[in-house]
Structure 1
Amino acid sequence: MTTATVVSKDGTTIAYEKIGSGPAVVLVDGAFCYREMGPSRPVAEQLSDRFTVYIYDRRARGESGDTLPYDPQREVEDLQAVAAEAGEPVDLVAFSSGCAVTLATVQAGLAVRRIGLYEFPLIVDDSRPPAPEGYQQHIRDLIAAGKNGAAVKYFMHSGIRLPRLLVELFPVFPGWSKLKKTAPTLTYDGRFMGDALDGKPIPAGRYDYVSAPTTVYAGTKSPAWMRNGNAALAQAIPGAKFVDLPGQTHQVNAAKFVPTLKEFLQ
C-alpha cells in the first residue's frame, strides 16, 4: 500500500492508504491507534480480496497533521474527506472509540451502505463502576502538564479497567513509546465519548438517525460491561444486529473477525 493524502475542510492533511478492489470500506480506529498500530492494517489486508479498503491516520496520529484548536467536527470532516476519496456510499467499520467518530459522521449526513461497529466502550449498567468523577478532565490535565505516560496509565486503569499491576508494567512492553506519543489524542477521543462511561442506559432515540444496516460486534472474552454495552447499542440502533465473536477480546484477531465481517458486508 502506498500512502496518499487528502486535505480536510480546515486544511489539515490526512494520510491514508487503500488496498484491494471491490466495494469501498473505510476503517476507523479507536484510541491510540493508527495505520501502524492497531487492528486496521491486518483487517484491511484480509478484506482486500473482495473490497477496496481505506485505512487512515486520524488527525494528530501517524503521518496526519493537526490544526488547533481541536473540535470534534474536524474529525467528522476528516472521515468525510476520506470517504469522498473512496466514493460514497461507503461501508464503515470502526473499532472502540472510533465507533463514536463513525456514528457522529453518519449523523452529519455521510452516505453509507453498511456499518460495522466493534466494541464501542459503553457502560450501561452496574456490571462495572462508571469512570471516576472528572475522568476526562483529569486526562486533559495530565496531557497539558506533559505527563503522557501517566495519562496512558490512568486511561488504561480508570477507563478500560485493566488491573493496576498490569498497567504499571506497560513501560516495559513493546509499543510503550507509541502509546505515549499518541496520548494527547486521548483528549480528542474523550470529546467523542461524552457520557459513554457514566454507567447510564443509552437514552431513547439517541441513534434513531442510523438507517444503514448495522452490525455491532463484541468478543466473548471481553468483560461483561463491554458486552452488555454493545448489546444495548445494537438494541438502540434501528434494525441493528448484535454478534458475539467467540474467543475474542477488545484486541480483536483479524483472522477471526474478518470472515464474519465479510458475510455482513457482501
Structure 2
Amino acid sequence: MTTLQVQTGHGDTVVLDRYGSGPAVVFIAGAGPYRAIDEETTQTAQALAERGFTTTVHDRVGRGESVASGDITLERELAAVAAVVEAAGGGPAVLVGHSSGCSIALAAAARGVPAAGLVLWEAPLEEQSELPAVRSWVANVTDRLDAGDLAGAAAEYMRDMPAEFREGLADMPFHDRFIAQAPAYRADGESLVWAASGPLGDLLGRAVPVLAVFGEQTFPGMPEAAARVAREVPGAVSEVLAGAWHSWDVPAAVDRFAAFARAV
C-alpha cells in the first residue's frame, strides 16, 4: 500500500491509499464513510489488488484526512475524482460508487473523467418525477449548512434512513466526525439532484458499461433505483449480490467487481 496526497484542479488536497498494479479500480464513498472507518471498502480494494488491479480508496473532499473549507461543491468533488484516477494510472478506470458515491461516479463519467466502466452499489437515485422533492430536500440540507447548523444538516440529509440506522449511528464513536463533515454532504445533494434531472443515459452522454448492484437485504427503493439505471442507460445491467443493509459482502463483491473490470 502507498498513501498519497494529490492536488485537484480546484486546489484541494486529497489523501488516498493505492494498492497493487494493473487496470485501475477507483472507489468513491457515499455521504458518510472515510478511509479510517471504511474497512469493507479497504478489504475489497486489497483483495482486488491481489487479483491484478490497481485500486484506490480516498477520503473525499472535506472528510477524513482530506481537510477542506468553504462550500464543498460537486465541482470540487469531481475534480477530486479526476485527480484520484490520475494517481491510479491516468485511466481509464472502473469507478465503483457506494450510495451517493454512485451519482458522483455517474457525474464524473459525464464530465469526461476517463471511466472504463461504472459499478453502482445501492445508488439512492429517485425517478425524474421526484425531482421537485429531491430539490426541496437538498435545499433544506443546504439551508442548514448555510446557517452553520451542522447537526441539523446531517439529520436532514439522513432523514429517510431507517430509524434504527440513525439511532445506531448516534451511538458510534465517530458520530461527532460525521457531524463535523456535514459541509461535504453538499456535493452529494447536488449530485442526486443532477441524477434526477433527466434520463440517466442522456445525462451520462456517452457509452460506458454500467453494473447497478444491490444487496439481498436492503432498504426500500434500492432495487427500484438499480432498475432505473438498467432501464435508462443503454446496456446497463441490474443485479442482486450478497450483502445487507447498504453493505456488500466482501468476497462476493470482489468476485463480481473483478469480473466486471476484466470485461470492460
Q: Would you say same fold, with TM above 0.5? A: yes
1:191-245 CA-to-partner distances (Å, cap 9, x unmatched) read 111065x7x9x63743452312221111121134111111111221111111111
SS of the equivalent of 1:243 reads strand
Answering whether residue 237 of structure 2 is matched by residue 245 of structure 1, we say no
Give the superposition deviation at 1:26. Answer: 0.9
Structure 1 residue aligned with 2:212, among 187, 211, 216? 216
SS of the equivalent of 2:208 reads coil
Runs of 4+ residues deviating >6 angstroms: none
Compute the RMSD of aligned alpha carbons: 2.6
Structure 2 residue aligned with 1:147, among 140, 146, 149? 149
Give the superposition deviation at 1:132. Answer: 7.4
Q: How has the CA–CA distance of structure 1 residues 79 and 151 changed in structure 2, closer, same or farther, with 3 Å as cutoff?
A: same
Q: How has the CA–CA distance of structure 1 residues 66 and 220 changed in structure 2, closer, same or farther, with 3 Å as cutoff?
A: same
Equivalent in the alignment of 1:230: 226
CA contact (8 A) 2:15 2:58 kept: yes
TM-score (norm 2): 0.86
Q: Which amino acid aligns with 2:149?
A: K
CA contact (8 A) 1:95 1:119 kept: yes
SS of the equivalent of 2:63 reads coil
CA contact (8 A) 1:32 1:185 kept: no
- Give aligned pairs, total: 258
Structure 1 residue aligned with 2:63, among 29, 38, 61? 61
Instruction: State which drifts further: 130-139 or 218-227.
Output: 130-139
Q: How has the CA–CA distance of structure 1 residues 131 and 42 changed in structure 2, closer, same or farther, with 3 Å as cutoff?
A: farther
Structure 1 residue aligned with 2:260, among 255, 261, 264? 264
Q: How has the CA–CA distance of structure 1 residues 187 and 81 changed in structure 2, closer, same or farther, with 3 Å as cutoff?
A: same
CA distance in 2, matches of 1:5, 1:207: 31
Answering whether residue 174 of structure 2 is matched by residue 175 of structure 1, we say yes
1:11-33 CA-to-partner distances (Å, cap 9, x unmatched) read 21111110122211111111022
CA distance in 1, matches of 2:93, 2:243: 29
Equivalent in the alignment of 1:28: 28
Instruction: State which drifts further: 23-32 or 180-189.
Output: 180-189
CA distance in 2, matches of 1:16, 1:239: 31
SS of the equivalent of 2:181 reads helix
1:94-124 CA-to-partner distances (Å, cap 9, x unmatched) read 1111111111111112222222111110233
**Identity across the alignment (%):** 30
Q: How has the CA–CA distance of structure 1 residues 83 and 208 changed in structure 2, closer, same or farther, with 3 Å as cutoff?
A: closer
Q: How has the CA–CA distance of structure 1 residues 119 and 204 changed in structure 2, closer, same or farther, with 3 Å as cutoff?
A: closer
Equivalent in the alignment of 1:255: 251
Q: How has the CA–CA distance of structure 1 residues 195 and 255 changed in structure 2, closer, same or farther, with 3 Å as cutoff?
A: same
Q: Which runs of 5+ in 2 are unaligned?
A: none
